[in-house]
Structure formats: C-alpha cells, structure tokens
Structure 1
Amino acid sequence: MSVKIISRAAWGAKPWDNDPTSSGPAAVALSSRTEFFVHYDGATPITRTGVAVPRAIEAQHLAQGWAGIGYNFVVTQAGEIFEGRGWTRQGAHCPGHNVSGIGVQIAVGGDQEPSAAALAACRALYDEACAKTGRTLAKKGHKDGIATLCPGSILYAWVQAGMPATGYTPAPGGGGTAPSTPARYQVTINGLVYGYGAHGDHVTAVGKALVKKGFGAAYTVGPGPDWTDADTECYAAFQRSLGYSGADADGVPGESSLRTLLGTLPGKTVAPAKATAPAFPGRDRFGPGKSNASVTQLGKQLVKRGYGAAYTVGPGPKWSDADRRNVQAFQRAQGWTGADADGYPGPETWRRLFA
C-alpha cells in the first residue's frame, strides 16, 4: 500500500510548546535513524477516531511539559497515519532512542486487537522509513528500549513476527531503496516552512536562487510561492551537487544546504508595532510583591492580545508568576531572547503590547 500521511496542519496540531514562536523539537538527520519502535496507548482500549486520536495524545503530552505529541507518527484503527514529529524531528517516545528511533503509536490499548488496516499502515510506514533512511531499520517494540509493558502482548508478538500485514507486499529487499516519487513532507527552518505544499515569498526566493545557480530544469512555469514537486526536484539536484546522496538529497531543504543556496537563513519577521501605547508606568510597578492598577492593566492587555494562557484566575492587581510567564510569551513572540525576554515589562514591551 502507498503511504499517505496526514500533516500536522491538516489535523489541527497546536504550535510546538503551545507557543507560536517555538522552533520545536531538535532536527534529526535521516542518516541517524536505525530503529523503528511500535507503541500502544496504554492499558485502556481506544474508542476515539480520526483527528480526535492525535489531538488527545497531543493534549496529554503538552500537559506533561513536552513540546507536543511525542511520537513521530500515529496510526488509527482505520489505517490513517497522522504526523506527530515527522521524519526529521527528535521524538519523545523512548529515552535513549529518540534520535536513533522513529516512534509510531498504533492507537489501541490493553487487549484491544489492532485492525488489519492499522497493521498494514504501520508496515507501509516502516517500509517508507527504510526507503528514506537508505537502510533496513531494526523492528522493535517500546519494551525493547526501556522497561515497560508497551506495546502490549498482541503488538509485541506482531513486531517479533516481523510485522506481517494482510494484503501488504513488502518492498523488494525489505526497504532501503530511494522513493520513486518526490518527497512530500515539510520541514520548518527558522520559523519558515519548506517542502511540498509550503507557501510564501520565501518559497519563491528558493526557486529563483535555484534557477540562478543552474538548477531550474524541472520548472515548466515559475518558480512561484507554492512549493511543488518541481521545487523538490530542483532542490534535490542542488543537494546532489553539494555531495549529498540518498535521503539527504531528497529535495527537502536542510539548514546547511539552504544557507549555502541563499547565503543566509531567512526567518519570520515581526512587523514594528505602532507607537500608540499609554504611558509606561515604570519598571517599579511590576515584579514580586507589587500590587497596583498597572498590573491589572497589563494583565488585561495580555489577555486581549492572546497571551493570557498562564492565568488560572485574574488577571488582577497582585503580581504573580502567571503575569511573568505571559509577559515572557509576548516578549518571545517579538523575537527577543535572554534578558530581553525575562518576563518583566520595560518601555518597549509596554509600547508593543498596547500598540
């Protein structure tokens, strides 16, 4: 069977760390992948279907303080494959194996029988992983990496049997050959999305740079703002010119090749805020032990601008750590880091917040 992966955007994933400015989990080269781990949901059978499956897992993992859904992919009983951390991000599914291992949850629990569609989808995903990495990955259950009952007795027996699937024919040689169609996954670099389906002026800039360097043969029109298979094919040719091969030359940018092509790494820019804020009341109005109307004014504006996630009550006149965390989230959204995003408002934070 072919592998159709439902992207994070398509199933409505939240931003990494529930923060639009977060760059998310660390990138992992496909060449680092050597294992394929199968997981289940736990002791309780799963009744959720469709997008409710990855959304429930995401909510649980965010509540645990993780960047988002910990698995690289999630497979439902209907055979749907949902993108979690995808092919090229570090997982959070098995300590000590999150770089080397691709983690896939089949959404069953307890003694629940996995459907034929789920097993076939997982096996097809395994074969795709082998093709992308250029090697035959070790088939493992979660318990092979750490002491746990996961993936349960039924799925673990299936893994040990070689992951057979009804109606599924493994690729010749068990995987490891290059895909016959252009890669269609996406990566995010410096806040901008690249790969099939990405859109924006930054996509046009990549295409124009490829043409300028002599790697535009696949274009029949364009280049333009929508990333197509032609962009992928042209970028793959450029990657090969740099000495990359196999999965490292699949036509989806990495930071190194993109910097080589453009001379820099473009990033999202934040438009300057309009200088229409009320007068800044002074730094001494904010911080531990402070209680005044300015704290309430600040909190209400944070909520109005969409940065009130840390509040469980309020906002109110007494400064709390929730105020600090909300201010910090707003500061990070401006692209600030370090001492510039310490969670305590200064004149520029105030001006931008109220602009």
Structure 2
Amino acid sequence: MTTIISRATWGAKAWQGVPDSVPLSRRTEFFVHYDGGHPVTRTGYAIMRAIEALHIGQGWSGVGYNFVVDQAGNIYEGRGWNLQGAHCPDHNISGIGVQIAIGGDQEPSAAALAACRALYEEACKKTGRTLAKKGHKDGFATACPGTKLYAWVKAGMPAGDYEPAPIPGGSLPGGGTGSEMARYQSTINGLVYGYGAKGDHVTKVGQALAKAGFGKHYTSGPGPVWTDADTRNYADFQDSLGYTGKAADGVPGEASLKKLLRTLPSKVTAKPAPPFPGVNKFGSGKSNASITLLGQQLVRKGYGKHYTKGPGPKWSDADRRNVRDFQRAHRDLAGDADGIPGPKTWKLLFS
C-alpha cells in the first residue's frame, strides 16, 4: 500500500467548510497537475502549507488537490480518496487530482514520477478499474501540467524501476529505516556505482545480480541507470555474503563487487581535473570564472536542479545547494556536505 502523509501530520488547517464526499465508484480519471510557471523552491511540509494558503485565499475549503507529490517522492493528503476535489472544472467528482510539486521548466525527479505512478496504481486498485491517465489540460484550457509532465502522462506515466520514497520506519537494506535509503554513490576504478549512476557497467552489475538470483526487485531491466531496484538487489547480495548494517546498504564496495563480477572492472583513465582554484574562490560575495566552470560541470553531472538561470560567475545559493547535493550523493563527501567545494569535491566532480 502506498504511504501517504496525512493532513494532521503536515499540519493542515481545519476545513473552511468540509468538501462533499465522493464514492470511489464514481472515480474514472486520474489528473496530473503542476504548480505553474515558476519553479518550486519549498521543500517538505512547507509545500503543502503554501498550497493551502493559496487555495484558502481563493475561497476554497483547503487544498484543492486530492494529493500532492514532492520531488523526494513523498505523497501528501489533500482532499484524499473520498472528498470532492477543486482541481479541474467538471472533473472534480470523476477525477482524482494529483499535483507533482514542480513549476516552470523544472525536471520532475524519478522519485516523484515513481510516487505518482504508485498512487495511480493504488487508485486503480481502490476503484476496481483502470483510470484514464490525463493531464490538467485534457479537461480544461490551461498550460498545466507543463510540457514535461504532460509528455510523461501521454507516454503512459512510465516509472521504470524507481520506487517511491521509503516508508518511514519501514525495513530497508542493511536493517535501516525509511530515512536511510542509500541514495549515494561510490567510485571504483574510475566507475561510479549507486543511485543515479549511468553506463554499461551499471547494466553489467544488474545482469550479474539477476544471474546470481538477486534480481527480484526489478520490474524491467536491468538497465544502464542505477535505481532503487538495483540498490535493493545489491543489498540482498551483500546480505548473502554475511554483510550487515551499512556494509549491506546496497552500494557496491570493492570487495563485494569483485565477488559478484569475479574480477573488478579495468581502471578507467580519466582526464585530469583542472587545478583546484582554492576554497577562497567560492562562497558568498565571490565572482570569478571558477564559479562558472564549477556550475557547468555540476550541470553536466546532473546536479544543476537548483539553477533557474545560469550558471554564471557570481556565487549564488543555487551553486551552494547543487554542490551540497553532489557531496551528499558521494560516500566520501557526505560527512562534510557544506556546499563549498574543497579539493576532494573538485577532483570527484571533474573525474
């Protein structure tokens, strides 16, 4: 069952007039929305509180969507399963409305798409029918849900092997809890492994896991992008080796990878990183070519989501947040993820 963060948990206000109830038997559609023309910069419960304030300001009872999904893959209750929504005229009874909390040209995260797809599957299960997949513009003249989400809906809402955010307090690889899913990377002989890593070497690991009998979490693939399914399968393999705790978190280390593949992949000779310009080149008030170079490389590596323009030579909070995301994604850097690049961050970023 899909885990949903309740109104009480995220701190919803009392309904300003309780919406009408709608039996699940009347639901025939599933509508996907976005937040509008500007990127969403809020995180966590603040997303729901901002939507609530806007919708109450419009004279509505409260949040108009049935559910909201954030970029981390968390699902929040709005109107829920059984209350009439306020998201698409003439479709608020027949349609379940779900906002993916992005705006403008923001890329929806794999976790958000997976959570939305899981919510759709849950809706079909609850209603006992296959609901029509629709974007807001299919029911009303609007740009919503934006070009990227609308293309995703029209493609059938694929979610690959990405799984929704872990259940809080639930069981995860290594005996951890929902907040500890291993979504970071390791580098072995110049090749990157772990959540989000890409390449033929990732496919080979997945194929080796499946061949060894550790492929039960794949719903398709294995493929060239490391997903939560790879992490869970690799954790099962680590567990079979007797590893426990963080040693069985689903991210390859040299010893376990060698046992899986019989031999480590040949060392990749990387182009030397440009010389580290020094910590004093980065931070508030700084402006120089090194900041532009840093930002461009972050974008190339897939860590540019906080930029709304640029990157450019003037240090911004977007630079800091993107660097921090990169640091958090790498095991060797996660313990000192302050958003300011040091020599180690620089070397890994340009490797």
Provide TM-score, normalisation by structure 1: 0.45
Provide TM-score, normalisation by structure 2: 0.46
Give the number of the structure whose alpha-carbon radius of gyration is greater.
Answer: 1
